[in-house]
Homo-oligomer: A and B are copies of this chain.
Amino acid sequence: MGPYSVTRLLLPEIEELLDSAPEDLADVLEEIHAADLAELTHKLPRSTVQQLLAALPPALSADLAEYLSDEARSDLVSELPPDQAADILEEMEPDDRADLLSDLEPHEAEAILDEMEVVEREEARQLLEYPETSAGGLMTTQYVTLNVDLTVGQAIERIRGAAREGAEVIYAGYVTNGAGQLTGVLSLKDMLAENPNSIVGAVMDQSILSVSPLIDQEEVARVISKYDLLAIPVLEPDSGRLVGIVTVDDILDVLVEEGTEDAHRMGAVEPFEEPYIKAEFWLMVRKRASWLLVLFFGVFLTSAALKHYEAQLERAVVLMFFLPLIISSGGNSGSQSATLIIRSMAVHEIELKDFLRVFYREIKMGLVLGLFLGVCGFLSTFLWGMALPVQVTVTISLIAVVILGTIAGSMLPMMIAAVKMDPAVTSAPFIASLVDVVGIVFYLEIAKAIMGI
């Protein structure tokens, strides 16, 4: 992007100003989008970024902090004196502020909270009660509320006031009653389209879409995306009290985050939050070793299965040549099925009640793909000059393991979802390991039947 490359030219200037005239920095950096500045800081030594955060006016530091990665900003802020950190946090959006506090050590967060103004402190404490990946953890408490008997003109004036104060989210007014319950929503668009003398209560939208604070962020993303919303109100489930709103910009991040989590799970890596390149080495070792260990003992069963057929293998070592081919083919078709089903469930294209439909479809698919690979196997063993019994054994085994793979790959994720776990834990390698063991038994039993050994 253009702006970023231009910004990059400023690096030497920033470093020089930090040394010579830090008070001039604000003027230079005000022209740069905070997102670009955040990207720039990756090129600067950490101590320089630290200096920068301390030297800028708190409002600019807050802007910058909002665009830094969770990890980078908690590292940076934890090293500032608590009162300076508090000044920056007070200027941040309530949702980012709470996220940042929850990433700090509890004693660090407490020290900063103690230095904050009472309003911001209470707001932060309230948001900190919700898990980070829930609607409550995503929501902001900065929005415009309206009284039901205002005129539309007065409502626009309230929005105008919020815009002057620099509020981020002003594209709707939330109509609440004395008990703080949400009774309607009036979008800024509708305010502008209406007669300014109309009464808010008469023109507001009463069919309110909302979520409750403990709902998972993935579900919030689904609702916002389904209805093409810019924001959704968060209501306490029992009282119906409005406690915050979740905005679409946070949902973009959620979608990327959830995509990463699913990708990691399907690749048999325990999900983690940090970017790959910054994640701590031993943390990553643990995230990977845990699954490798599970898979190791899974596949170790193949050794036991093969030992069981020792005599047979000694008599026909030729069987061994095709063993990897057969188990891989089962594993690959199983990975395909698992990928398709897990992704379809993640985006709610299929649900548990579609179990039977998926089952029939995948059996049919397994049959067709199995026949296809069977033919490939028959031809390639023929061209390689194998004896007919070997050819037939390989062909039938391929058909059998591919059917087995598609069934296991499609049904296991659905069964795991049925017990309320994330289907993505049935990673492709997991399916492959399972199919390996059963595939070996299939293959050697088929060989026994056909080749008579």
Using a CB–CB cutoff of 8 Å, the interface residues on chain A facing chain B are: 1, 3, 31, 33, 35, 156, 159-160, 163-164, 166, 170-171, 188-190, 192-193, 207, 209, 221, 223-228, 230, 248-249, 251-253, 255-256, 259-260, 262-264, 266-269, 275-277, 281, 284-285, 288-289, 291-293, 295-297, 299-300, 302-303, 306-307, 310, 313-314, 317, 320-325, 327-329, 331-333, 335-336, 338-344, 347, 349-350, 354, 357-358, 361, 364-365, 368-369, 372-373, 376-377, 380, 384, 428-429, 432-433, 436, 440
Q: Chain B: which residue is nearest A308 at the CB level?
A: B321
Residue contact A225 to B248, C-beta cutoff 8 Å: no
Contacts of A228 in B (CB 8 A): 35, 249, 252
Residue contact A225 to B207, C-beta cutoff 8 Å: no
Residue contact B193 to A288, C-beta cutoff 8 Å: no
Per DSSP, are chain A's interface residues mostly helix, strand or loop, or mixed? Answer: helix
Q: How far is the CA of A436 from the CA of B358 in the complex (A)?
A: 31
Give which listed residue, B35, B160, B276, contacts A340 with CB less than 8 A.
Answer: B276
Contacts of A160 in B (CB 8 A): 192-193
Residue contact B291 to A324, C-beta cutoff 8 Å: no
Residue contact A277 to B344, C-beta cutoff 8 Å: yes
Give which listed residue, B3, B269, B321, B332, contacts A339 with CB less than 8 A.
Answer: B269
Closest CB-CB distance, A364 to chain B, in whole Å? 7
Contacts of A333 in B (CB 8 A): 288, 292
Closest CB-CB distance, A374 to chain B, in whole Å? 11
Residue contact B267 to A339, C-beta cutoff 8 Å: yes
22 pairs, A vs B, C-beta closer than 8 Å: A1-B223, A35-B227, A163-B193, A170-B192, A225-B249, A248-B252, A255-B259, A259-B347, A262-B263, A263-B263, A263-B343, A275-B349, A276-B343, A293-B372, A296-B325, A297-B380, A299-B324, A299-B328, A328-B432, A328-B433, A331-B429, A335-B428
Contacts of A344 in B (CB 8 A): 275-277
Known A-B contacts A288-B333, A292-B329; A323 and B324 likewise in contact (beta carbons under 8 Å): yes
Closest CB-CB distance, A234 to chain B, in whole Å? 14
